[in-house]
Amino acid sequence: MKNKLKDEKSPYLRQHADNPVDWYPWGDEAFEKARAEDKPIFLSIGYSTCHWCHVMARESFEDPEVARLMNDAFVSVKVDREERPDIDSAYMAAAQLITGAGGWPLTIIMTPDKKPFFAATYLPKESRGGRMGMVDLIPRVKQLWTGQREDALKTAEELTRQLKNIGTQAPGASIDKTLVEKAVKLLSERFDKEHGGFSDRPKFPTPHNILFLLRRHRKSGSTWALRMAETTLENMAMGGIYDHIGHGFHRYSTDEGWILPHFEKMLYDQALLAIAYTEAYQATKKQVYLETAEEVLTYVLRDLRSSEGGFYSAEDADSEGVEGKFYLWSFDELFTILGREKMELATRAYNLDIEGNYIDEATRWRTGSNILYLAKPLDELAEEMDRPVGDVKAGLKEIGRMLFETRRGRVRPSLDDKILCDWNGLMIAALSVAGRVFDDERYVAAAKKAADFILEKMLDSDGRLLHRYKDGEAGIPGFLEDYAFLCWGLIELYETTFDAKYLSHAVAFTNMMILHFWDGVDGGFYHTAADGEELILRKKEVYDGATPSGNSVAMHNLLRLSRLTANADFEARAEAVGRAFSKMVSQYPAGYTYLLSAVDFMVGPSREVVIVGAPDAVDTEAMLNVLRGEYLPNTVVLFKSTNEKALEITKIAEFTRDHTAIDGKATAYVCTNQACKKPTTDPEEMMKLLDF
């Protein structure tokens, strides 16, 4: 018999609909039941591609004995952290206060009025290795609740009081620009010179660190900043964290060499890494970065795009109950598919082994399976094999085609097909940037379709954003990241298409974000709207983690929009965001690299370019193509048409009203730090005026 999750939209919640645990979704029904039955709440937070969430489900939530204990002692509530990041953020903060750590699955036991008194992450069924199991924990909590409730309530009240003080630090002065270089120094200290990345193991991609370092190289000429970025990008693209057959990046690597991944694929990783590789191509003109970015986007457009144009959230790590099974190969299987000649190249290129090259994360033993990763750069391999590098590339491409066709017959990992506004905003940004830089209309068309889908399907009756779309229905009021990330995508889409409607929507959503999320006392943006559901904690996030924070992206957007529209309030708000978090950022600048990229934009020099010309005219395209081909961080570009569409942009950016095409020729108006120079009709002169 199915539980109360059977009608939920979330694929993660539906995964638990057949559990013998009497799960409830987050909502009044569960909390009223807990009060009526005088039981604590067992809150379990996870997501569909979480490996240890699956393990805990198999061991405990599908087990009749554990389910009987849970149903007797608790009212059990399941939350998809991707649907409700506000709930996840609040109770993760509680877990970190209680245990000093966090992660998923997140296990919280709390009072019926949502105040936590116990926290853990993964719990086995039986106690082992110093970790209490569910069958031991549940009776203890039941005894505490019935016999020593005052202790539990006292703990809950004290924790709630401490949570209220989180993030209440008063704003400081503007962020000291020297923190930008301090962040570079801290990244340098953590940098793995051999493999790239900024930790030992596990290793996460953190593409915002790459974007930050590319900007430092462009501004300061630091070859070391560029080396850190390139070493990381090159090793990730060679490693097992990258799917060399179907493309796209897995979530993270369990080893220092990027070889042994956790296999889930997340939409936000594909988006941010596509941007990082595209910008690296712009900065260096190295073909490998272009190829990697295009392969990532090929994967996304093939496997993560809905027929309506929005993008799905993720693919799981597991298939047929085994992590990575879809991506791993036995030596004999590969030999049978490829034959002797191709197998020789594959073995050399991918370091294949009869005993397998894939090592179990826990035991560090060989598993008998092989993961495909490039053991060395292809030019080195070609030299060793005394073959032209073009032949080696062609050979590997054919091997990839054969293995891709074979893999299509396997059981795929499950697809989390909910569409999230914030992650789609990131993908719109990635496709727009790639379409602009690579001059590829496929990416631009996909970005436009996704943006138009959100604008048509993911707004409420007041025009405010909704967070999630699934099965033809949008729901859940938007969070800060929905507004900030979508505006990022819309700004990039405007600078690629120069369709004024996208810039207009970016301005409108930014104004909505200010209205509903702005902290009018200390500055910065809250994660939830002022009229959102009241939780134990209303947080302001600024740490740049798996994705840049909503505040970091919002600060970028405000600065770009202030230059695109000459709106001084946007600039002032951006400065206030910096002040709101300056004390926090000063404690460890390397944790806030995307925010510091915005600080670098604000410090300057920044540049504004207005191109006035006839759409699609040769001289107009010549101007725009020069700009598209260069890596120009901290630069915004407006286009004013010489036809009737000029009115569309002057409504948004009134300062362009008097900008004209000199002698009917495409004309560039270049300003640096809002100080303007003499207009020019010469693309080369325009680049000189930009002073890069």
Question: What pLDDT is attached to residue 110?
Answer: 98
94 close to 166: Cβ distance less than 8 angstroms: no
Average pLDDT of the residues of the chain = 96
Q: Assign residue 95 a region (left: φ > 0; alpha: ψ between -120 and 50; beta: otherwise).
A: alpha
Give the pLDDT mean for 677-687: 96
- Token reading at 94: 């509680």
To the question of domain 178-321+415-603 being in CATH 3.40.50.1220, the answer is no
| Residue of 459, 507, 441, 478 whose CA lies nearest to 649 | 507
pLDDT-derived band at 168, boundaries 50, 70, 90: low
Question: What pLDDT is attached to residue 169?
Answer: 66
Pick the CATH number of 11-164 from 3.40.640.10, 3.50.50.60, 3.40.50.1370, 3.40.30.10: 3.40.30.10
75 close to 35: Cβ distance less than 8 angstroms: no
Question: What pLDDT is attached to residue 167?
Answer: 57
pLDDT at 365 over 90: no
Q: In this predicted model, what pLDDT tens digit does every residue of 439-493 receive, in sequence order?
A: 999 999 999 999 999 999 999 999 999 999 999 999 999 999 999 999 999 999 9
Q: In this predicted model, what pLDDT tens digit does every residue of 26-80 receive, in sequence order?
A: 999 999 999 999 999 999 999 999 989 999 999 999 999 999 999 999 999 999 9
Domains 178-321+415-603 and 607-690 share a fold: no
Q: Assign residue 674 a region (left: φ > 0; alpha: ψ between -120 and 50; beta: otherwise).
A: left
Question: What pLDDT is attached to residue 174?
Answer: 83
Q: In this predicted model, what pLDDT tens digit does every residue of 202-258 receive, in sequence order?
A: 999 999 999 999 999 999 999 999 999 999 999 999 999 999 999 999 999 999 999
612 phi and psi angles, rounded to 5 deg = -115, 125
What are the extents of the domains in the chain? 11-164, 178-321+415-603, 325-407, 607-690
- For residue 502, what are the contacts with CB-CB under 8 A and spacing of at least 6? 451, 490, 491, 493, 494
Question: What pLDDT is attached to residue 164?
Answer: 84
Percent of the chain's residues with pLDDT above 90:
93
Q: In this predicted model, what pLDDT tens digit does every residue of 136-147 receive, in sequence order?
A: 999 999 999 999
Percent of the chain's residues with pLDDT above 70:
99
Between β-strands 75-80 and 106-110, what pairing exists: parallel, antiparallel or unpaired? unpaired
pTM exceeds 0.75: yes
Q: Topology of domain 607-690, per CATH?
A: Glutaredoxin (3.40.30)
